[in-house]
Amino acid sequence: MRMNIGSIITEKRKEKKITQQALADFVGVSKASVSKWETGKTYPDITLLPLLAAYFDISIDVLFDYEPQLSKKEIQSIYAALKHSFETKPAEEVLATIRSFIRRYYSCYPFILQMGLLLMNHLDLLPGENQEEKVQRYIKEAKELFVHVRLNAKEPELIDQSFKLEAYSLLILKDADQVLAILGEYVPGIFPVESLIAGAFQLKGEKPRALETFQSALFQYVVVIMSLLTNYLQLLIGNPEKFAETAVKGNKIAEAFDLSHLHPVALMNFQLSCAFGYGQMKQEAAALSTLESFTEILESTTFPVKLHGDDYFDQVEDWFTNLDIGNQMPRDSVWVKTSFVDAVLDNPLFLNFEQKGEIQKINERLKKQKKAGNENG
């Protein structure tokens, strides 16, 4: 899709012979916002599109100068706008906008995959009576989107992604047999295609691209390993020695790659898994120590968190740019921070600790972070 919305707004505004200020007053934004729309510096909030279209008496497709496909940058922009709208708009309105975009770009398969993920990642913020009802409604809706991509896309990578995401949705729906039917019962051997891609760049004499390929792969593997360890810990609750060994190994990886700065969200997820496990095993000292570290990292992390490199991963910025949703995290800042804090506050696992003063101090620090996050959001 060509994002010509700015030029369309300019054209239609001049046809109606109104000023930028008059349009701004009608929509409820500043004149500067309208100016930025028209120059292409920013786009209108997703939820303002129906209002603008109605004002100019045109369809949203005309407003967008519609084409059925979206570029990566456009997918990133729409995903970011929809994600942010959960903080500013009623959930029913956001859901209606998401579904409108799905209908409009039903043949843009990379976009449809991301909309399925958007529904899954924001399940708790969507309309519904309770969590179970939301799971049944929206995970099934997301699954149908993944199936649509699997059955219609031509690109092998998209088909592979849709298979895995379909299996993920089935797991959430507790359909274990279907998950195994799709993925098989044994982990397939890993064939490191990034080594082949890097090798091809080396043959072409493009060493910087080879370095970028290896770094982007390493970055992903580090985050994936931390995610695997996070989930693995929960299976080790009945094996304290193996649990402690796994926690040590995870913390060493985190320290080696400076995850507190490189990817604090992955590290905090791991720390919470450690803290919950220690709490369940009544290892109070270890749980408190982990919660203290978790709280320190939460306090030092700037939200919203964006993917970035560092002195070691110094060749990954272009790779981030080419991801379907760029360097943004799947969920927005306020909700990520709030979910981390709520996982600890008033958690029965920790409230029964003998060192009630220590857990109370941690809770107070976390409440301050939650308040600050809500005010900034």
Instruction: Give one DSSP letter per residue of 84-103, joined into a string.
Output: HHHHHS-HHHHHHHHHHHHH
Question: Distance (Å, rounded) from C-alpha 276 to C-alpha 271?
Answer: 9
pLDDT of residue 280: 95
CB 268 within 8 A of CB 298: yes
Q: Which residues contact 149 (CB under 8 A, 6 or more apart)?
A: 109, 112, 113, 158, 159, 161, 162
Nearest to 9 by CA among 34, 33, 28, 30: 34
The whole model's pTM is what?
0.79
Side chain identity, residue 280: Q
Nearest to 78 by CA among 94, 93, 58: 94
Query: pLDDT digit of tens for each residue in the chain (377 aa)?
Result: 445 788 889 989 999 899 999 999 998 999 999 999 988 888 888 788 888 988 888 887 778 765 678 889 889 999 999 998 998 899 999 999 999 999 888 889 999 999 999 999 999 999 998 999 999 999 999 999 999 999 999 999 999 999 999 999 999 999 999 999 999 999 988 888 999 999 999 999 999 999 999 999 999 999 999 999 999 999 999 999 999 999 999 999 999 999 999 999 999 999 999 999 999 999 999 999 999 999 999 999 998 899 999 999 999 999 999 998 999 988 876 788 989 999 999 788 898 888 888 999 999 999 998 887 665 55
Q: Which two tokens stand for residue 90?
A: 């009623």
pLDDT of residue 1: 44
Task: Assign 306 to helix, strand or coil.
Answer: strand
pLDDT of residue 23: 93
Question: Distance (Å, rounded) from C-alpha 304 to C-alpha 336?
Answer: 8
pLDDT of residue 373: 66
CB 139 within 8 A of CB 169: yes
Q: Which two tokens stand for residue 48?
A: 């303002």
CB 344 within 8 A of CB 366: yes
Assign residue 219 a region (left: φ > 0; alpha: ψ between -120 and 50; beta: otherwise): alpha
Q: Exposed (0-12), middle (13-18) or buried (19+): which is 359, by Cβ within 10 Å?
A: buried
pLDDT of residue 190: 82
